[in-house]
Structure 1
Amino acid sequence: MKKHCYTVLFLVFFLNTITAQLKSPSDYIPNYGNQITYYHQVENYFNYLVTESKLIKKQKYGVTAEQRDLNLFFISTPENLANLEQIRNNNLAAIGMSDTKTASVDDKVIVWLSFNVHGNEFAGTESAMTVAYELLNPTNEATKTWLKNTIVILDPCINPDGYSRYGNWLREISGKKTHPGLYDREHMEVWPGGRYNHYIFDLNRDWAWQTQAETQQRIAIYNQWMPQVHTDVHEMGYNSPYFFPPSAEPLHEFIEQYQKDFHTTLGKNISAKFDKQNWMYNTRERFDLFYPSYGDTYPTYNGAVGMTLEQGGIGAGREITMENGTNVTIKDRLTHHATAVLTIVESASSQKDALIKGFRDFNNNARKKIKGTYKTYVMKSNPKLEQMAVLLKKNNIDFAYADATANESGFHYQSKKNKSFKIEPNDLIIKVDQPRAVLTQVLFEPNQKLNDSLSYDITAWAIPLAYGVEAYAVKNNINIKTKPGLAVVAKNVPESVYAFHIPWNNRTSAQVIAALHQAGIKVRSAMKKAVFGDITIEPGGLIVSKAENPKIVDFEKTVSEIVKVKSDYNCIATGFSSNSKDLGGENFNLLKAPKILLLSGKGVNSTEFGATWFYLDETINYPVSIVETANFSRVKLYNYNTLILADGYYDLSNDQKTQIDAWIKNGGRVIAMNAAISLFEDREGYALSPFATTEEKEKSVKEEKELELKKRFLDFEGSERRAISGSIPGAIIENKIDKTYPMAFGLGDSYYSLKTGEKCYPLLKKSINVAYVPKEYLSYGFVGHEMKKKLTETVSYAVDKKGEGAVIYMVDNPLFRGFWENGILLFSNALFLVN
């Protein structure tokens, strides 16, 4: 008996000893803190922690484009981990997002920690391992106390593809010694850099739009938990002292006092830790809370206390000498992060009751007392609502479709006036009285209040204008009969079809033509309205006729399989129209299948390249040859008919420019965006010029000289404020469009462009000015008063014909961040309809 007791005691002692000897990252990972950790090593360490500790659970929530796992780790006491589902349901039930509630489980504060949304800000993931270890460390009595009332959800790497791209590169170019000198190659990251994901998207700008697979999978599980605190861990330029809350102005007007109060608490608590170590830091200077698609703002608009942490480190490699003469190492960077993050967990635990109350009041009161001006948003029936519905579902925003008729009045987005209108069946109705009341208002409020014009990002994002949908914001809660969805009637394809008609009105139209071209099927497009019995073909509408595709076996079945994704397609029984626009007439242009060359590499704006690549590869699934600018001289251009130049500064030789000129004259087409259009500025044979006349140029030079003279008397302190008078960080600008030209087909009566740069050009001579800013234009968001005057009667999109080919100028990028839906259609017009 005694022997048996000794055995039991020995086993208990042995198991406790093993637990007490949980390995730190330094013990487990070779060279931790001195060299970047490979992603598979990060995964191995967290798997080790899951195996060795009862305080952590793993959940794989998705995979990246490059098939790397996306993982969450839940850290708390064994008792809390055993009750995770009940805790989750209780949290959602308390804010009206779940009907399931278990009374026997106490409330816990949920703290979500996100690391490395930008892959080359790698100290985030490095610190995540130290944070996890300290929370699990059996000898850390403080963290044991925190976890009793806290659930920590830890995502060690939001962007594994970017992290791995950067990490593999840094490992490959690293020697045994560090090189803190500024010009060593480990401080000179190669294009496109590790900041971005596979498609070179900035995932930290994608929270609300969810264009990327990583974001879609993460937000889906985020919405299942709805934490009270969310921390987004970043790095910035290596010379910058550490940044932690409180955040800078502008703060969105919907942010509650409890969120601001906890920011202040964190500022005091983290600063106390940093003061003790004599670490430099700053607060309230640069990182604001306004644009809704960040890792701090999106959680904030969902009731959490969202925040950004920023450590100086981008470009630092393993070690670098800062401008103050001291060196910063990986160990320094991860230690600062770990200290700040653990302080946040500690603070959340100590403020549990206040955080939970504030979170619940935020969500529940938002339904009772609407924060904004409007209570209902009405989107007029439009095929583009198909994609808007997808966005709303991703964000768990409730909506329905009108199933009756009613007269109403409200703010009209397209005219910025209050107007009477009629709600009709199939109009989309979004009511603010719903669980996502605040997020709904942030995304749809037409006039966001900007209390400080020094914003970090774009200042307007009105969803109806982004989608090109006529819309109204109504001050009252509309009571009208609704239905949850639109009925889609399956088409009965006749045994014999003269032609298929595919309306040109949303991104699905572009997906269909992309598939038809790849199948070798000939396609035509209508230039003007054509009527065939009860079928009306609007400009841009696609026609696939049996006569022009005689080699297709079983024409009806083959084509209907391709076009069925577009539920509003039609089968036409005759080519004889009711309005003299027969299918065999001049009204229907035969479209060429684009053979696309897209340039990448040095000089090309990486994210704008990524937006174009993503559009081609994912949005429309169309083939593209991508060539580095350094290899452009080796390309035989006649193998292509379309050259896409994303935003950038292309250092092409005169011979290369001459080659492009000749190729365009022989039928080549260039789509040039943003700064890329400067390749054609003031060049012989092209219409692009910053001045319409010599007199305008002389006047501009004179005004600039006079301004320089005036600046001599101005103080330095106001220089930054004065500079923004000529800026436009990101605003929505009304454009008048030429609806008769194919590049404008399907866009609506006007086009609202998201303008993110100051460069502007007068309307072009001897060109087709497809979209331009009229004299008295409407705008949303911040536009500096000097910039506002400059934009008048400037072109946004134009086509410059040259010989058999053309250059399509895009002063604004219609594919910016992949969420400007009407811009996607505009770019599709340029790619497929402009011959």
Structure 2
Amino acid sequence: MLLLLSRTLVLMLFIASLTMNFTAHSTDVSTYLPNGAKYSENVPTPESSLGFGIGERHPRHDQVLHYLQQVATVSSRVNIEEIGRTTQFRSQVLLTISSPENLANIDQILARRADIEASAKDPVVVWLGYSVHGDEISGTNAAMVVAYHLAASEDKAVKDMLNDTIIVIEPSLNPDGMDRFVNWVTTHRGITENPDPNHIEHHQNWRTGRTNHFGFDLNRDWLLLSQKESQNRIPYFHQYQPNVLGDFHEMGANGSYFFQPGIPTRTHPLTPTKNTELTQLLATYHAKVLDDKGRLYYSEESFDDFYYGKGSTYPDINGGIGVLFEQASSRGFQQETVNGLLTFEYGVQNHVLTSLSTIEGAWKNQAEFKAYRKDFYQLAQQQASDENFNGYIFTETKDNYRLKVFLNKLQQHQIKVYPLTQDYKINDITYIAEQSYYIPLAQAQYRVIKALFNQQKNFQDNTFYDVSGWTLPLAMNIKFAQVGRTWGLKTQDLPWQPSSEKTLKTVSSAYAYVFEWHDFLAPKLLHKLTSAGINTKVATKVFSATVNGVTKAFDKGTIIIPAGNQNVDNWRNISSDFAANNQIPLIALDTGLTVKGIDLGSSSFRPISTPKVLMVGGKDTSQYEAGEMLYYLDNLLEIPVTVVEMQRLTAVNFADYSHIIMVDGKYGKLNGLVFNKLKSWLTSGGVVFGQKRAARWLSDKELLKMDFVNKDHIDQLFDTEKLTYSDKESLAGRKRIAGAIYQAELDTSHPLAYGYQASELPVFRNSTVIMEQTTTPFISIAKYSHAPLLSGYTDQNLVNRLANNPTLVAHNVGKGRVIASTDDLAFRGYFLGSMKIIANSLFFSKAFNARPAE
């Protein structure tokens, strides 16, 4: 027994020694807080809950939540609320921190936020959001320190501040990405700290913790609202309406510390000049605390304040001041940099310092921030009245899903939209009342409306950190127009509100059922049907049939479910249920003899097969574009996609799949064996879809019969003879397409364009991968118009080079098909207008026959 105890003690001591080595840089919370400050013993410290100190190791999201819940339980200064769940079902939470008296009246205080006069004497609101990029985790750790400090401090100044301030803390904006990163670092860190930048700890696999479940950058989604995390947050943002929002990030290891203002010429013109002045005021507080610690920092450099879809810019069109903070990242626990050894704890402390300086600056200058918010909305009303038009009208007559998604996005941004009560004609286009809506500019969200509908193409500074064009109705292919005079425009008195809708089930002994392809969710319904073994066909020619005694025309792309060749029991009820669940009308036809066009037994109705999709992923492919494809196919359409990394393709039997998707990436590393397999599979009947550089690779391998513009040719478009060294950055910006919206002209007769009524389709381009014009007939499905730029910046030399060039092509390769696009068709999950081309490539790839010239 003594021997057993002795061995146990030795083992425990051995484990303890390992732990001590592993946690050589551990520290308690006092290390991050003001010297000599006193704290209540009733509030637990982070280390007492986590079992390790801040900066000692990376806590998981559940550990962070557990600690913050403990703090909220014991502190009368802290409320915690779940605002939603992520795709992986992790909790998103907000902490509201203020004096006990303010928290007791928080509902009344927040109810007054919409009335600026009524809320003038209420506390100033500061929102601190951390680690929207899940691998920039110093922010989440700083959030725990800040929460502890505000909850436990016995300092009179802190108590006074809490009387006048409401602090909202979002400790992790991206819980799924955060835990992906934590698991990576925890798996690969050693017992002994290793600062070597080449160590695997600092190099995450595909996909990184930066993104959410679907691979989206959530710091680009505040305006677009395609992702669940953003949709969960936005109602609370508008409930609190923060005067100041701090957005805490990390950057490359060789940086120092950045806080806004950013580059002055790269601020969006909708942002008032006073916004920059107040940001500079706050900057003096950040500089002071960092100066006191001897920390390196910089401002007014590198980062811009242009795109409103980021956490630091969305407040700028909502009456607040958004401030970006960027800490040089150890991307692990420590890393050698040009500035010496960078430790994780160092980064956490910087974010703690500027979190507290943000609160202090807002508190001590609260009168200015409140006055700014009041002036912001008053000025918006004045600017709206100064416009040469009164509002926007928009419509979508065929696709109820896209229309309702568009309306919901506007409603989430607190924009008031009014349904038309009678038809209205403008620019020779009649807007039908039942599917048309009006947005007056004269409302509180004037600037948000302008940001979403604006089609600016000329800018003071043409270098962009992010996209330069993001016009929402263009992205969603919603027809819209400016309304000058509102004479004759009749709308409902109350704004539109979401309502539940249910398509009635259709169950009868019909000869056949049909549904039209123009609805966004039609591919989802088709996949449900074919997966259930229900036989379907697509119309490759138009026809008309009698429906309830009235002749109705059906476009190409209409799906037919014939009764005569079904082998699934109860298929009528199954089909009806699927259609009702997707709110798509299922139309019953009583006869196979049509009024006009092809009859239902015609060979022009082509059978549809269930696609089996493989997507190439992993290192060297774009995690963003792969995520967009997965979001569209897997999340919106519920079509399963098998993702296979490049290095595993050798072992995969391509014959198990009908389609292979290749998003943007570097495919030069694919070996000869994989290429030969791909070519053999393709010529035997497979379908490959290549996007951007994948398309160019297919061309290089002579599978795609298209030529591409090379880099030297693009360089020759720009005259560099008189440029000086200071023009280098400007020239690089001119040669780059950071992100702009273009107009493509569709061949709507082609199966890959089924579902589109108009030939004009806005598409998103963010690369200089350009196809050359072709004289081969029938292979070009979409080309850019003669003046294609619709929104955002592109140098005119590149616009001219793109004009009339193809952007979507497809042709036969043996028995198979190759389809290629130079646009990002599912960009950021909100380009609903061009997404259907992807679905058409899955279902209708064998419905066309186009052989290129050899």
Query: Would you say same fold, with TM above 0.5?
Result: yes
Instruction: Please state if 1:74 is matched with 2:85.
Output: no
| Counterpart in the other structure of 1:447 | 456
Is residue 40 of structure 2 the alignment partner of residue 19 of structure 1? yes
Q: What is the Cα deviation at residue 545 of structure 1?
A: 1.5
Q: Hey, what does 2:248 align to over in structure 1?
A: 233
The match for 1:222 is 237
Aligned partner (choices 470, 476, 491) of residue 479 of structure 2: 470
**Contact 1:118-1:203 at 8 Å conserved across structures:** yes
Change (3 A) 1:83 1:727: same
The answer (yes or no) to whether the contact 2:817–2:845 under 8 Å persists in 1 is no
Aligned with residue 742 of structure 1, among 751, 754, 758:
751
CA deviations on 1:768-801 (whole Å, 9 max, x unpaired) are 1111123443432100233223213322111131
For 1:18 and 1:674, how far apart are their aligned partners in 2? 57
User: Against the structure 1 CA distance between its residues 149 and 704, is the aligned structure 2 distance closer, same or farther, given a 3 Å change threshold?
Assistant: closer
1:7 aligned residue: none
Aligned pairs for 1:365-376 (under 5 A) are: 365-370=379-384, 373-376=388-391
Render the CA deviation track for 1:423-473: whole Å, top value 9, x for unaligned.
332222222233322211210123366332111111112222212222211
Q: For residue 515 of structure 2, what is the aligned residue in structure 1?
A: 502
Quote the offset at 1:488 in angstroms: 6.9
* RMSD (Å), alpha carbons: 2.5
Whether contact under 8 Å (1:252, 1:450) holds in the other structure is no
Q: 2:305 aligns with which of 262, 284, 289?
A: 289
1:52 to 59, 74, 84: 74
Matches within 5 A, 1:724-739: 724-739=733-748
340, 354, 370: which is aligned to 2:368?
A: 354
Question: Which residue number in structure 1 is paired with residue 19 of structure 2?
Answer: none
Letter of the structure 2 residue corresponding to residue 519 of structure 1:
A
Change (3 A) 1:387 1:575: farther
Counterpart in the other structure of 1:397: 415
1:398-413 aligned at under 5 Å gives the runs 398-408=416-426
Aligned to 1:458: 467
Find the counterpart in structure 1 of residue 161 from structure 2.
146
How many angstroms does 1:725 deviate by?
A: 2.1
2:650 partner letter: S
TM-score (norm 1): 0.90
C-alpha displacement at 1:201, in angstroms? 0.9
Mean Cα displacement is larger for which, 568-577 or 817-826?
568-577
Q: How far did residue 593 of structure 1 move? A: 1.2
Higher mean C-alpha deviation, range 607-616 or range 571-580: 571-580
Change (3 A) 1:407 1:773: closer
Output the CA distance in 2 between the equivalents of 1:685 and 1:368. Answer: 58
Between the aligned partners of 1:681 and 1:114, the Cα distance in structure 2 is: 45
Query: What residue in structure 1 maps to residue 327 of structure 2?
Result: 311
Q: Is the 8 A contact 2:542 2:597 kept in 1?
A: no
Deviation readout 1:568-587 (Å, 9 max, x if unpaired) = 44222222222231111133
Question: Between the two proteins, what is the percent identity of the paired residues?
Answer: 26
Q: 1:548 to 1:63 in 2, by over 3 A?
A: same
Q: Which moved more, 1:459-468 or 1:439-448?
A: 439-448
Among candidates 678, 681, 701, match of residue 663 of structure 1:
681
Q: Distance in 1 between matches of 2:737 and 2:717?
A: 23
> Could you report, residue by residue, the CA deviation over 1:584-614 in whole angstroms, capped at 9, with x for unpaired residues?
1133221221011122212111111111111
1:616 aligns with 2:638: no
Q: Which residue of structure 2 aligns with residue 528 of structure 1?
A: 541
Larger mean CA deviation between 363-372 and 75-84 belongs to: 363-372
* Residue among 615, 624, 627 paired with 1:607: 624
What CA distance in whole angstroms lies between the structure 2 residues aligned with 1:648 and 1:526? 35
- TM-superposed CA distance for 1:478, in Å, is 5.9
1:20 to partner: Cα distance: 4.2
Q: 1:423 aligns with which of 404, 418, 431?
A: 431
Match of 1:556 among 572, 592, 612: 572
Q: Is the 8 A contact 1:241 1:281 kept in 2?
A: yes
Q: Which contiguous aligned blocks of 4+ residues in structure 1 show a shift greater than 4 angstroms?
A: 483-492, 700-707, 710-713, 764-767
1:596 is matched by which residue type in structure 2? V
Q: Distance in 1 between matches of 2:407 and 2:42?
A: 52
Q: Distance in 1 between matches of 2:322 and 2:244?
A: 6
The 8 Å contact of residues 469 and 741 in structure 2, kept in 1 or not, is answered as yes
Q: 1:131 to 1:372 in 2, by over 3 A?
A: farther
CA 555–478 in structure 1, closer or farther in 2 if over 3 Å, else same: farther
1:260 to 260, 276, 285: 276
C-alpha distance after superposition, 1:161-191 (max 9, x if no partner): 1111111111111123221122122222222
SS at match of 1:93: coil
Gapped regions of structure 2 (runs ≥ 5): 1-37, 847-854
* CA deviation map 1:338-360 (0-9, x unaligned): 11111111111112222122213
Provide the C-alpha distance between the structure 1 equivalents of 2:403 and 2:461, rounded to a whole number of angstroms.
33
Aligned to 1:824: 835
8 Å CA contact 1:62–1:70 kept in 2: the answer is yes
Corresponding residue for residue 119 of structure 1: 134
* Comparing 681-690 and 59-68, the one that deviates more: 681-690
**Residue 173 of structure 2 is aligned with which of 140, 158, 171?**
158
Quick one: distance in 2 between partners of 1:626 and 1:583? 38
Deviations 1:190-229 (A, max 9, x none): 2211111111111111112221111111112222222221
Aligned to 1:301: 317
Kindly state the Cα deviation for residue 683 of structure 1 after the two structures are TM-superposed: 2.6
* Contact 1:134-1:140 at 8 Å conserved across structures: no
Does the aligned pair in 1 maintain the 2:751–2:844 contact within 8 Å? yes
1:334 is the counterpart of 2:348: yes
| Residue 477 to residue 295, structure 1, CA distance change in 2 (3 Å) | farther
User: What CA distance in whole angstroms lies between the structure 2 residues aligned with 1:542 and 1:552?
Assistant: 18
Decide whether the 8 Å contact of 2:557 with 2:755 is kept in 1.
Answer: yes
Look up the equivalent residue of 1:192 and give its one-letter code.
Answer: R
Would you say the 8 A contact 1:123–1:330 is kept in 2? yes
What is the SS of the residue equivalent to 1:289?
A: coil
Deviation of the 1:703 alpha carbon:
8.8
Number of positions where the alignment pairs a residue of Structure 1 with one of Structure 2: 791
Give distance in 1, aligned partners of 2:115 and 2:394: 30
Q: Which AA in structure 1 matches 2:203?
A: M
Tell me how far apart the structure 2 counterparts of residues 770 and 616 of structure 1 sit (CA, whole Å): 22
* Residue number in structure 1 paired with 2:11: none
The one-letter amino acid of 2:521's match is T
Distance of 1:87 and 1:153 partners within structure 2? 14
In the TM superposition, residue 91 of structure 1 has moved relative to its aligned partner by: 0.8
Alpha-carbon distance between aligned partners in 2 of 1:812 and 1:667, rounded to the nearest angstrom: 25
3-state SS, counterpart of residue 561 of structure 2: strand
- Structure 2 CA distance, aligned partners of 1:360 and 1:523? 59
Alignment correspondent of 2:761: 751
Unaligned runs of 5+ in 1: 1-16, 96-100, 409-418, 692-696
Question: Equivalents in 2 of 1:91, 1:209: separation in Å?
Answer: 24
Counterpart of 1:93 in structure 2 is: 115
Do the aligned partners of 1:597 and 1:642 also contact (CA within 8 Å) in 2?
Answer: yes
CA apart distance, 1:41: 2.3
| Counterparts of 2:234 and 2:577, CA distance in 1 | 33
- Separation in 1 of the partners of 2:80 and 2:187? 31
Whether 2:260 is the aligned partner of 1:245: answer yes
Deviation at 1:86, TM superposition (A): 0.6
Q: Distance in 2 between matches of 1:716 and 1:612?
A: 41
8 Å CA contact 1:381, 1:428 repeated in 2: no
